[in-house]
């Protein structure tokens, strides 16, 4: 079960990284400040989780959980900035692309920060399973 959790988390991080690169490099979407912070938290997880899967390192949750939980909180806040207008006055994005901007809005609620939130949540859940199975 541990190796399945590691594999799932690793594949999730790869999909999240490739998705963010697709949006910026192929679609031409310029990342806002909060998007960059989320990338800073997600991209290293590809390497950490890949090495942990290769080595079957069940202790990796100690390093991944803080990053994935912070990523969840950050992407959740970013999503709220997009969907709750009254929160936008507290936005930390003052230069460049506004963090409240929505390049995509699939089905009326799926935005890029929402996708990041789902990715961080799945990785967090996988690491919690790994921690519990230890």
Give the pLDDT band of residue 85 (cuts 50, 70, 90).
Answer: confident
The answer on pLDDT for 75 being more than 70 is yes
Confidence at residue 1, expressed as pLDDT on a 0 to 100 scale: 58
DSSP category for residue 89 = G
What gap in Å lies between CA 106 and CA 46, rounded to an integer? 26
Mean pLDDT of 45-63: 97
Beta-carbon count within 10 A of 7 CB: 15
Report all structural domains of the chain as residue ranges with CATH numbers, in order of start: 2-133 (1.20.1550)
Angle at 24 between CA 21 and CA 29, to 5 degrees: 155
Contacts of residue 112, Cβ cutoff 8 Å, sequence gap at least 6: 20, 23, 29, 35, 102, 103, 104
């Amino acid at each position: 079960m541990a190796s399945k959790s590691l594999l799932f988390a690793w594949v999730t991080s790869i999909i999240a990284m490739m998705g963010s690169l697709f949006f910026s490099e192929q679609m031409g979407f310029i990342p806002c400040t909060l998007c960059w912070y989320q990338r800073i938290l997600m991209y290293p997880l590809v390497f950490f989780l890949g090495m942990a899967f290769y080595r079957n390192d069940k202790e990796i949750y100690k390093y991944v959980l803080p990053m994935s939980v912070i990523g969840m909180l950050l992407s959740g806040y970013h999503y709220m900035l997009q969907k709750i207008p009254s929160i936008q006055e507290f936005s930390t994005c003052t230069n460049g692309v506004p963090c409240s901007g929505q390049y995509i809005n699939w089905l009326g609620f799926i935005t890029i920060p929402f996708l990041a939130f789902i990715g961080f949540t799945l990785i967090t859940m996988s690491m919690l399973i790994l921690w519990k199975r230890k």
